[in-house]
Chains A and B, each alone.
Chain A
Amino acid sequence: MTQDEPTGSQKPSRRGFVELCIGAMGATSAGAVAYPVVAFLGRPASVEGVTTIKVPVAELQEDQARYVDWQGQQIVILYTGRTPKVLSASCSHLGCLVAWDNVKHVFHCPCHGAVFDDQGRPVSGPVSKPLAAVPFQLSEGNVVIG
């Protein structure tokens, strides 16, 4: 570097270089902290939608409903002693979760009072459509959904 060179604003100064280095170190440190924190806020590995569900028929109790998560929706497996029935647990009115009443043998929606029978057919309330049936297979004593 020569002495007669003018000190213009474009000339890299020692101070500017040190500032850049400190800035780079700061940014690296901030990144090293931010990366795991942002990653932590992401979705955990096992919350991916489960595609197939297998429930042994022997585990099902008579007249009891079993609620399970399947592909992001709640479904209900109902066993009334003959064959299992798998229905969407969302009310066909506005989508609230219906509750099984094993005394009256109906599904009851807590939101607007819709009632469905054990086959998912509407009985009373503001509904005309049945609870959506979910296709399933019976294989080797298991209810296989999906």
Chain B
Amino acid sequence: MQTVERITDALDERYKIRPLIEKNVTKKLVPRTLGWAACFGGLSLLVFLIQVFSGALLLMYYKPDPARAWDSVTFIKSNVPMGWLIQRVHAVGANVMIVLVMMHMARVAYFKIYRKPRELHWVSGVILLILTTQMAFTGYLLPWTQLSFWGAKVGTEIPGAVPVVGESLVEWLRRGNVISGETLGFFYAMHVWILPGMISAFMVMHFMMIRRTGISRPL
């Protein structure tokens, strides 16, 4: 404990971190009427971070190749120490994150928190919801199981209902006419780099806006 104190002292002397910690953590005042339901946004962020770290671990063994994807996931589950746990955490975490995001939105909608001046909080939040579902959708194909394959097939058929451009949209999503190795590569790139990058950008915007307007205080 004394070592922690001394490190904090040294950092405080140089960077004045004590007032920073007090203002943001230890002495931060939360509106008294704010209930537990106000935690869902923060919990969504927590689960997102769990997904990032468990995903980074899975990346060490996963191979985005139709011939080897399923084998590599099986290898993670049966040969890598604790691999079954990390893989399960990542798969279950996806569902948990969607549930938490939905609950966060339900609260914001019910208490009408989206009203002026917080309209753009809501808009960025809806974009984050869409990105989250796309993360789940692209990740679902990666283990290359029967469920993955047919899930991706049915899912990529949906934009086909769009008039005029529907069919080319489906082809663009699949990188061809059918779900193939090209689709897997595209979904993989989307899942591990492009979508997480977009989510991070919109999260930063979302949080900065909340900082500017302050949290909504219920009566």
Residues of A that sit less than 8 Å from B by CB: 35-37, 39-46
B172 in the interface, Cβ–Cβ < 8 Å?
A: no
> In the bound complex, do residue B57 and residue A44 qualify as a contact, i.e. CB atoms below 8 Å apart?
no
> In the bound complex, do residue A36 and residue B85 qualify as a contact, i.e. CB atoms below 8 Å apart?
yes
> In the bound complex, do residue B81 and residue A40 qualify as a contact, i.e. CB atoms below 8 Å apart?
yes
The majority secondary structure among interface residues of chain B is helix
Report chain A residues within 8 Å CB of B78.
45
Interface size grouping (class) on chain B: 10 to 19
Give the complex CA separation of A45 and B85 in angstroms: 15
Distance in angstroms from B71 CB to nearest chain A CB is 12
Give the complex CA separation of A25 and B83 in angstroms: 25
Give the complex CA separation of A101 and B3 in angstroms: 64
> In the bound complex, do residue B81 and residue A42 qualify as a contact, i.e. CB atoms below 8 Å apart?
yes
Report chain A residues within 8 Å CB of B81.
39-40, 42-45
Give the complex CA separation of A35 and B86 in angstroms: 11
Report chain A residues within 8 Å CB of B57.
37, 40-41
Give the complex CA separation of A43 and B78 in angstroms: 13
> In the bound complex, do residue A40 and residue B79 qualify as a contact, i.e. CB atoms below 8 Å apart?
no
Distance in angstroms from A17 CB to nearest chain B CB is 14
> In the bound complex, do residue B79 and residue A39 qualify as a contact, i.e. CB atoms below 8 Å apart?
no
Chain A residue with Cβ nearest B57: A40
> In the bound complex, do residue A36 and residue B82 qualify as a contact, i.e. CB atoms below 8 Å apart?
yes
Give the complex CA separation of A56 and B11 in angstroms: 67
Chain B residue with Cβ nearest A40: B82
B75 in the interface, Cβ–Cβ < 8 Å?
A: yes
> In the bound complex, do residue A45 and residue B79 qualify as a contact, i.e. CB atoms below 8 Å apart?
yes
Give the complex CA separation of A36 and B50 in angstroms: 13
Report chain B residues within 8 Å CB of A40.
57, 80-83, 86
Report chain B residues within 8 Å CB of A39.
81-82
Report chain B residues within 8 Å CB of A35.
82
Report chain A residues within 8 Å CB of B61.
44
Report chain A residues within 8 Å CB of B75.
44, 46
Give 1 or 0 for each of B61-82: 1 = CB within 8 Å of chain A CB: 1000000000000010011111
> In the bound complex, do residue A44 and residue B79 qualify as a contact, i.e. CB atoms below 8 Å apart?
yes
Give the complex CA separation of A41 and B86 in angstroms: 11
Report chain B residues within 8 Å CB of A37.
53, 57, 82, 86
Distance in angstroms from A26 CB to nearest chain B CB is 13
Distance in angstroms from B59 CB to nearest chain A CB is 12
Chain A residue with Cβ nearest B87: A40
Give the complex CA separation of A40 and B86 in angstroms: 8
